[in-house]
Each structure stands twice: as structure tokens, then as C-alpha cells.
């Protein structure tokens, strides 16, 4: 069990309360990840801000899911893989894509596969892509803006994945079916 507290509106530092209230309003409950992050109000604020910014990116719902899950799976995040599987279902992402991501099978389209491979290369190579990798990304129809937006998604997932590893965040009941 984690030595970190799963904060509530009653136990969280005062500066975390607006962010926990935002979580409660958006999710109907406070996800355990947010409850843990509330220990540091700035961490919770940064995470929520990155999440909002990535959601506002030019990537569509399928592409966001590919980026999120590719990173979660590469980082072997016990919390985010099932959480984003549940979220993908809520977003009505085709189960073929969800299954391909979680089982590391080829994605249905060439473009989706290139997005996954580019995301993996960025994570594995600490942001360094060869000219050929960049060209393959652009040849698949993606833009310079979208390449930068993958880095935004990585930033968000590094926060959650690393914190989940450090804290051993317990999985929310809503995500357990997707473990």
C-alpha cells in the first residue's frame, strides 16, 4: 500500500481544493491519481493543465488515445493502462484499436501505426528522431504542429506514469475491469 494519502476535499492542502473540485465535477469522483497528486498543489495543477492542453491539441480522439496508451504501455504503468482503456471505451474508440494498443498488435491503418512508432521513438530515444523517422511521420500526413503535440502528451504521461510508479497509486474501482 502506498504511504501517500489519497486526499479528499477534507484532507487536501487548501491550494489543491480547486483542482480536486474540478476533478469531482469532471469525473463525478476524484480519481486516485488526482487524490495522490493533491499532496502537491502545483503538481496537480500542472497535470490538469497539461491534460487540458493536450485535449485541445489538433490530434483527434483516436490519435490522442494512441499517444496516451503507447506511452502508458511503454512505461508499464499499472494505473494508466487500465484507466486509459476505460477512457478509450468512454470516448467510443473502436475496440480494434484499443485491443491493438493494449496487446501491442499492429494498428488498423498505416497512419495510426506511424503515430505509434513515432511516439515510441520519442519516448525511447528521449526526444531524438532521425531524419527518416520525421519524414515517415510527415509522409503519413501528420504536421509539424502534431509532432510537437506528441511531446505535450509525453509530458503529461511522464507526470502520471512516474508518479504512479513512485506512489503505487491504487487503481480506482471504475478501472479495475480493464486491468
DSSP states of 34-94: HHHHTTSHHHHHHHHHHHHHHHTSSS-HHHHHHHHHHHHHHTT-TTHHHHHHHHHHHTT--
Assess contact for 167 and 36: CB atoms under 8 A. yes
Q: 51 by DSSP, 3-state: which?
A: helix
> What is the helix (H) or strand (E) element at residue 73, kind and residue range?
helix 61-74
pTM: 0.95
From its phi and psi, is residue 155 left (phi > 0), alpha (psi between -120 and 50) or beta? Answer: alpha
**pLDDT above 50 (res 125):** yes
pLDDT value, residue 3:
86
**Cell digits for 125?**
530515444
Task: Say whether pLDDT at 101 is over 70.
Answer: yes
Other CB atoms within a 10 A radius of the CB of residue 30 amount to: 22
Q: Which residues contact 123 (CB under 8 A, 6 or more apart)?
A: 70, 71, 74, 75, 154
The whole-number pLDDT of residue 64 equals 98
Number of other residues whose CB lies within 10 A of the CB of residue 86: 18
Q: What are phi and psi of 4, to 5 degrees?
A: -90, 145
Q: What is the pLDDT of residues 128-177, one digit of tens each?
A: 999 999 999 999 999 999 999 999 999 999 999 999 999 999 999 999 99
Other beta carbons within 10 Å of 19: 23
Mean pLDDT of 84-94: 96
**How far apart (Å, rounded) are the C-alpha atoms in residues 135 and 146?**
13
Supply the pLDDT for residue 1: 47
Each residue of 14-70: pLDDT tens digit? Answer: 999 999 999 999 999 999 999 999 999 999 999 999 999 999 999 999 999 999 999
Amino acid at each position: 500500500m502506498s504511504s501517500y494519502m489519497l486526499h479528499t476535499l477534507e484532507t487536501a492542502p487548501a491550494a489543491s481544493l480547486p483542482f480536486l473540485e474540478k476533478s469531482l465535477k469532471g469525473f463525478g469522483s476524484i480519481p486516485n491519481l488526482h487524490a495522490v497528486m493533491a499532496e502537491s498543489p502545483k503538481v496537480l495543477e500542472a497535470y490538469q493543465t497539461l491534460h487540458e492542453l493536450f485535449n485541445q491539441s489538433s490530434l483527434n480522439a483516436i490519435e490522442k488515445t494512441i499517444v496516451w496508451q503507447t506511452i502508458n504501455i511503454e512505461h508499464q504503468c499499472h494505473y494508466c493502462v487500465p484507466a486509459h482503456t476505460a477512457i478509450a471505451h468512454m470516448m467510443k474508440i473502436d475496440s480494434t484499436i484499443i485491443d491493438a494498443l493494449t496487446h501491442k498488435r499492429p494498428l488498423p491503418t498505416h497512419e495510426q501505426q506511424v503515430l505509434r512508432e513515432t511516439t515510441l521513438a520519442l519516448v525511447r530515444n528521449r526526444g531524438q528522431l532521425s531524419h527518416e523517422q520525421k519524414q515517415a511521420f510527415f509522409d503519413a500526413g501528420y504536421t509539424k504542429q502534431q509532432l510537437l503535440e506528441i511531446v505535450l502528451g509525453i509530458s503529461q504521461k511522464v507526470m502520471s506514469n512516474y508518479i504512479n510508479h513512485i506512489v503505487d497509486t491504487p487503481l480506482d474501482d471504475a478501472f479495475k475491469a480493464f486491468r
